[in-house]
Amino acid sequence: MKRNILIIALALVMATTSILFAQGEQEGAVQPASDNTSRNVPARLMPVPITVSPELQAVIARPLSPALRSVPKTNEEWRLLVAIKSEQDMPVLAQLRKLFPVDIETDIKGGVKTYIVTPESILEENRDRILIHLHGGGYVFNGGETSLGEAILMAYHGKIKVISVDYRMAPDFPFPAALDDSVTVYNEVLKTYKPNHIGMFGTSAGGGLTAATVLKLRQLDVPLPGAVGLGTPWADLTRTGDTLYTNEDIDDVLVTYDGLLQACAGLYAGTHDMKDPLISPVYGDFTEGFPPAILTSGTRDMLLSDTVRIHRKLRQAGVDAYLQIFEGMSHAQYILVFTSPESREAFQEIARFFRSHLGK
């Protein structure tokens, strides 16, 4: 009994001390010097969560891929890796097209290759609306038809036409090639659709590029889209953000910043400052009419912090921004585990958001 009381008393003292330190910080008091800028977390087992669907549980239970820790050393090796990944992704694309039937046509808009993805049926309210899709892949991967997974799912679940931009990528075309292509396609679409009837969306690098495109359009004084979807956006290419550390080796998809992710960041940014808002849009200004946004992430996503940080900046700027976080989900798994109920729910929420904001 006495031992329990002592433990409670000690806890109260520690809590009170924490409050006093917090008050001291607010009042500008001098704080004790400390060299402890990080915390040593002991190794521990991470159970597969029972709070997610069986489909997602099966993916989480798989071992992590060691491939993300290796980095190509030459442009030729990069191109080879891109080609290998594209070949591996083609059977997945075939399965997607079988499960989620849509019509796909190739088109050129302003010199930029695009794909027009049309569902079997379009909602009446969406007939004069269009979505522009910017794919993910670290600004290096998922070019050509392998970029279409998210566009197919969005067109199918949203019952709306989607234009997917096959923008130029590193290593051959670093920043600002991708941004130039997305702006070009948007300006071409503006010739046919009213700006408030156009939505723009993407995941990972595509989410970051979506935000950067809006910032660039505003610089150019071009009418902005009616709404955007920022899926787990790579909004900061530097290693800044809590979950880049706390979710490292927990995220099934990105796994670690050191390795392929960091290399992709350097390859895309080239000689430019990675904190340039057109590269890392979290450092941009979201006031002055930034469109309504829906943001999507998961509790195991290494880019959860990127998503949260850009969401807070949007809210601080007075933007109508909606944040949806999925239990147990790693980076972009609402696209990758496309047969899961979480995937269906994510895209239905995004589709609902676009329906409620476009054309207003």
Q: What average pLDDT does range 158-179 have in this prediction?
A: 98
pLDDT of 9 > 90? The answer is no
- Does the pTM surpass 0.75? The reply is yes
Please tell me the predicted confidence (pLDDT) of residue 250. 95
pLDDT of 27 > 60? The answer is no
Dump pLDDT digits (tens) for 290-308: 999 999 999 999 999 999 9
**102 bridge partner residues:** 119
Chain position carrying tokens 């998922």: 142
Please tell me the predicted confidence (pLDDT) of residue 69. 77
* Whole-number Å distance between alpha carbons of 229 and 15: 41
Chain position carrying tokens 């087992």: 45
Dump pLDDT digits (tens) for 305-351: 999 999 999 999 999 999 999 999 999 999 999 999 999 999 999 99
**104 bridge partner residues:** 117
Q: Where are the domains of the chain?
A: 105-357
Q: What average pLDDT does range 242-259 have in this prediction?
A: 94
pLDDT of 10 > 60? The answer is no
Please tell me the predicted confidence (pLDDT) of residue 360. 80
Cis ω before 171 (30° cut-off from 0): yes
- Going edge to edge, which strands form the sheet with 198-203? 102-109, 112-119, 162-165, 130-134, 198-203, 227-231, 293-298, 321-326
Lowest mean pLDDT among 36-45, 105-114, 151-160: 36-45
* Whole-number Å distance between alpha carbons of 164 and 254: 23
Question: What is residue 140's three-state secondary structure?
Answer: coil
The chain-wide mean pLDDT, for the chain, equals 90
**326 bridge partner residues:** 298
- The sign of the dihedral angle between the CA atoms of 62, 63, 67, 69 is positive
pLDDT of 8 > 60? The answer is no
The correct CATH number of 105-357 out of 3.40.50.10860, 3.30.1540.20, 3.40.50.300, 3.40.50.1820 is 3.40.50.1820
Dump pLDDT digits (tens) for 73-104: 999 999 999 999 999 999 999 999 999 999 99
| % of the chain beyond a pLDDT of 70 | 90
* Whole-number Å distance between alpha carbons of 87 and 78: 14
**To 10 degrees, the CA torsion angle through 313, 152, 199, 312?**
-10
Cis ω before 176 (30° cut-off from 0): yes
Please tell me the predicted confidence (pLDDT) of residue 36. 64
Q: What average pLDDT does range 276-287 have in this prediction?
A: 97
Please tell me the predicted confidence (pLDDT) of residue 35. 54
Please tell me the predicted confidence (pLDDT) of residue 172. 96
